[in-house]
Amino acid sequence: MKYQNRLSEVDELQKEINKYRPLSRHALKQLKEYYRIGLTYSSNAIEGNSLTESETKVVIEDGITIGGKPLKDHYEAIGHSEAYDLLYELAKNKTITEKDILQLHKLFYYRVDSKNAGKYRKQAVIVTGTDFEFPSHFELKTLMRKFTAEIPALKKKFHPVEFASLLHIRLVTIHPFMDGNGRTARLLMNLALLQEGYPITIIPPVVRSDYISATRGANKGENQPFINFISCMVWESQKDYIRLLKSLSREKK
């Protein structure tokens, strides 16, 4: 499926969102908790996690395990929720560092694999469904330092949604971790968006094949289809955010 570039529509919706600001502490808390479940469920589901959205909510909010579901799936839900909290702390800054990326991965992954959480892989990686050759593990430290050093320049050059998309592309193309690269990339993308005042952007599992296809193209330098795809996801997430803002404003009255 071909996705059109929605940057102009994104800009219009962002103006509408900004009219509701500043938000009350209560509204901010409600929105944060709403997106905690949505982002955790969707990001994990894209990678094959078997928990449904309602099961993810039960695991995170009630601390109850789901019978018949793998322990790893529970760990991924709890870990992603912890990384989500860090996301909001990091969003208070205007910079993104190598340390930030490593911390996000570590929080998400340490229950699953404590030895590799927050650390670059030490062996080659092969990803099923693509013939793209990812960098050697010997190159990772240099590539990641170069990438993070370029972040301020990329931020100045591109539209915030393009910038966030490019951070996602760069990270998954370097593929610095043994596992959790996609989820870390989506957290990184959302960190960039949050820092610029955009709402959390969710990639629904229903568009997983389109997302993977766009990501594979971006691995090989075809960035525009991926940027277009993300602009559509931001646009859809903004519409949902405005719906929630309207609901909260009615409640206030």
Q: Which residue has the tokens 């993300």?
A: 230
Identify whether 159 is a catalytic site residue. no
The residue from 74, 80, 168, 175 that is catalytic is 175
Structure tokens at 220: 């090989």
Is the sign of the CA dihedral 241, 245, 246, 248 positive or negative? Answer: positive
Task: Spell out the residues 6+ positions from residue 168 whose beta carbon is closer than 8 angstroms to its own.
Answer: 185, 186, 188, 189, 226, 230
- The C-alpha torsion from 83 through 108 and 172 to 102, rounded to 10°, is 70
Q: Which residue has the tokens 């991924």?
A: 76
In angstroms, the CA 55 to CA 73 distance is: 11
In angstroms, the CA 151 to CA 47 distance is: 26
Structure tokens at 1: 């499926």
Asked if 120 and 144 count as a contact pair (C-beta separation under 8 A), the reply is yes
Q: Which residues are catalytic?
A: 175
